[in-house]
Amino acid sequence: MFTNKKSLLALSVASAFALTGCFSDDDNNKPVPDDGGDGGDGGVVVVAPETPAALTFVVSGSVVQSNDDDEFDVIGDATIKFLESGVLSTNIVDVEGNQVQTLDVGDEGSFLVTRKSGSSTDSVTAIVSAPGFVTKAFSLDLSNEDDNDVLVAQFLLTPTDEEGLASTTTTSSDITGSTTTAEIVADASAEGSSLASATLPTGITLQDADGQPVTGAEVALNVLGTDPSTETKSLVLPEGLNSDDSSANIAVPVSLANVTLSVDGTSVKKFAGDTLNVTLAAPADLDAGEVLSVSSLDEETGIWMPETFPVTKGTGTVSFETDHLTWFSVNKSVPVCTDGLTVNFTGDAVPAGGLTLAAYSADGFLWSRVGAGSTSRVVPPGFLKRYGISSEATATVVVFDRDGAIWGETDGEVAVCGTVNDFALAAPYTLVNKTLTITGSCANDSDVAVDVTNSAVRYKRDGKAVRTALKDADGNFQLTNLREGEDYEVTVNFRGLPLEGSNTISLDAVTGDDLTQNFEFTCPEVTGSGGTGSTGGTGG
């Protein structure tokens, strides 16, 4: 009888009205809406804000320097620039998803970033600078082969007045337009010995990176030289010199220097009409038959490039002519270490927060994380190559915690291509771990809970690097490697949740006791929208 759905729907509605005409609903038993409304009277309901997506991987980084106690202090006015393939990276974001290409670390000297969602990039270059320190490029490995949820990155900068370095600036008014009218020499010396010198000849034309003339009234020629016999050379060497994975040899710097030039504050990058002579201190035992090459760093891109100009060896010196300015590394070629480095530990156990293993000498410098409970650390050959550790390298091996406190050190330099046995670890302090549970509730209705488990918890001692904890399997946060009795400040990044009040917790004279802390948030209010009920009829 009914030929379509519209007819059926019309009949259903009509039947409903017919039935309500015979009954009345005046007992006010109105239905309660699903969203907690008041049954249609327009009441207000408090609801929890949306929970941010879970974090599964972050980089917890800091910029530090060594202090007189052989520990690390943060550098509070450092700047970091993230690059990929020589251009600003688009794959680094903060924990709220905002793109980060450059950042100032602020007074705490630390930062927290992660990879952009969907990104598969496995490394970026971080160029780190701070007033009074040598600018350095660092290779930041994001491959996370150890499957950590928090990757620790510490960028160690070296003061410009560090032993093993010498820096000098020569200023001159011998310039007409963009051409020098007299020879200009800058010689960086330490204890009467020249570590690096640069000679700008008469009649050379000064240009910017695009080859355009740079004109002005005053020339400033700066040279930073390194002592080739000290580990300082390895500490300041910008990373990435050995990024070519296909070579069976690695470039080992014998001499290293940075040469810069400006005219009235404008940087000079190139020359025309002549070349700049650079002479560097070199090891006294450098083999007379050693074949040397030069690499230069593009400071804008963080990429090392091979040069073709020849190197002249003198007595304790090497020299070359260049038509541009930057970091220069004079290198010898040495076979790679194919065995890797294995360090076997004895003594105290590696604590919950892990430790860092470093090897340093004039031959090279490397860092490697040591996981909690590890009885050994195996550094693969590719990692050694990246840090310039060759088959012939020797170095002092040291293990330290996040604050730089030393847990163990070899007695002088040892071979770092192969195995180091019986490396004794000893905790320098009594450490405790604390489980932190954070909860959330609405300030405008304490009965409404706010899920805060996807936050990032950061904690530190005054002047030290910030550490980061993400939630564990139980939704709690593990604060590890705390020095018993010391004071810590805990800061919670709620990642956009509308917090009311402070996001910090002070831990005075810290112990290993568990701690629970509640925070309040401004929660959205939604107007109820329940059913209207019927109006009743006149009876039948």
When pLDDT is cut at 50, 70 and 90, the band that residue 510 belongs to is very high
Residue 102 shares a structural domain with residue 214: no
pLDDT one-digit tens code per residue, 461-482: 999 999 999 999 999 999 999 9
- Establish if 184 belongs to a structural domain: yes
Q: Which residues touch 215 (CB under 8 Å, ≥6 apart)?
A: 177, 178, 263
Residue 299 shares a structural domain with residue 185: yes
What's the per-residue H, E or C state across 481-517?
A: EEECCCCEEEEEECCCCCEECCCEEEECCCCCCCEEE
Task: Give the pLDDT score at 258.
Answer: 96
- Establish if 124 belongs to a structural domain: yes
We report the CATH number of the domain holding residue 495 as 2.60.40
Distance CA 222, CA 200 (A): 11
Distance CA 288, CA 314 (A): 9
Task: Give the pLDDT score at 243.
Answer: 82
Beta-strand relationship, 515-521 and 431-442 = parallel
pLDDT one-digit tens code per residue, 331-341: 999 999 999 99
Concatenated DSSP letters of 227-289 = -TTSTHHHHHSPS-TT--TT-SEEEEEEEEEEEEEEETTEEE-EEESS-EEEEEE--TT--TT
pLDDT one-digit tens code per residue, 94-139: 999 999 999 999 999 999 999 998 898 999 999 999 999 999 999 9
Task: Give the pLDDT score at 39.
Answer: 42
State the residue for tokens 């891109």: 301
Nearest to 58, CA basis, from 151, 132, 127, 145 = 151
- Establish if 45 belongs to a structural domain: no
Q: Which residues touch 450 (CB under 8 Å, ≥6 apart)?
A: 48, 49, 440, 441, 442, 497, 519, 521, 523
Task: Give the pLDDT score at 245.
Answer: 67
Residue 519 shares a structural domain with residue 500: yes
- Establish if 532 belongs to a structural domain: no
Residue 444 in contact with residue 487, Cβ under 8 Å? Answer: no
- Establish if 357 belongs to a structural domain: yes
Mean per-residue pLDDT, 264-276: 94
* Residue finishing a domain among 159, 187, 221: 159
Residue 420 in contact with residue 379, Cβ under 8 Å? Answer: no
Residue 59 shares a structural domain with residue 150: yes
Task: Give the pLDDT score at 529.
Answer: 52
pLDDT one-digit tens code per residue, 239-262: 999 987 678 899 999 999 999 999
- Establish if 30 belongs to a structural domain: no
What's the CA dihedral at 518, 521, 524, 528 to 10 degrees? 40
Q: Which residues touch 489 (CB under 8 Å, ≥6 apart)?
A: 459, 460, 462, 504, 505, 506, 507
- Number of domain units in the chain: 4
Domain encompassing residue 155: 55-159
- Establish if 469 belongs to a structural domain: no
Residue 309 shares a structural domain with residue 364: no
Q: Which residues touch 298 (CB under 8 Å, ≥6 apart)?
A: 86, 304, 305, 326
We report the CATH number of the domain holding residue 326 as 2.60.220.50
The maximal CA–CA distance of the chain, rounded, in angstroms, is 120
What's the token pair of residue 96?
């709220």
Mean per-residue pLDDT, 352-363: 93
Instruction: Tell whether pTM > 0.75.
Output: yes
Residue 280 shares a structural domain with residue 309: yes
Residue 310 shares a structural domain with residue 350: no
Task: Give the pLDDT score at 285.
Answer: 84
Task: Give the pLDDT score at 299.
Answer: 81
* Residue finishing a domain among 126, 159, 192: 159
Residue 225 in contact with residue 281, Cβ under 8 Å? Answer: yes
* Residue finishing a domain among 318, 335, 352: 335
Distance CA 203, CA 182 (A): 7
pLDDT one-digit tens code per residue, 368-399: 999 999 999 999 998 899 889 999 999 999 99
Mean per-residue pLDDT, 266-275: 94
Beta strands in 134-235 (DSSP E): 136-141, 150-156, 165-172, 175-176, 179-180, 184-190, 193-200, 205-207, 219-226
Q: Of 62-76, 244-258, 308-322, where does the model show the most confidence?
A: 308-322
Phi and psi dihedrals of 110, rounded to 5? -140, 165
Residue 247 shares a structural domain with residue 123: no
Beta bridge partners of 185: 199
Residue 210 shares a structural domain with residue 311: yes
- Establish if 172 belongs to a structural domain: yes
Task: Give the pLDDT score at 351.
Answer: 95
Task: Give the pLDDT score at 148.
Answer: 78
We report the CATH number of the domain holding residue 370 as 2.60.40.1120
The answer to whether residue 507 scores a pLDDT higher than 80 is yes
pLDDT one-digit tens code per residue, 12-62: 333 333 333 333 334 433 333 344 444 445 578 999 999 999 999 999 999
Residue 183 shares a structural domain with residue 267: yes
The answer to whether residue 5 scores a pLDDT higher than 70 is no
Distance CA 188, CA 321 (A): 18
Task: Give the pLDDT score at 2.
Answer: 29
* Average pLDDT taken over every residue of the chain: 88
Task: Give the pLDDT score at 70.
Answer: 78
- For the chain, the straight-line distance linking the first and the last C-alpha, in angstroms and rounded, comes to 29
Task: Specify the 3-state DSSP secondary structure of 20.
Answer: helix
Residue 177 shares a structural domain with residue 314: yes
Nearest to 464, CA basis, from 399, 406, 404, 400 = 404
Mean per-residue pLDDT, 288-303: 89
Residue 441 shares a structural domain with residue 509: yes
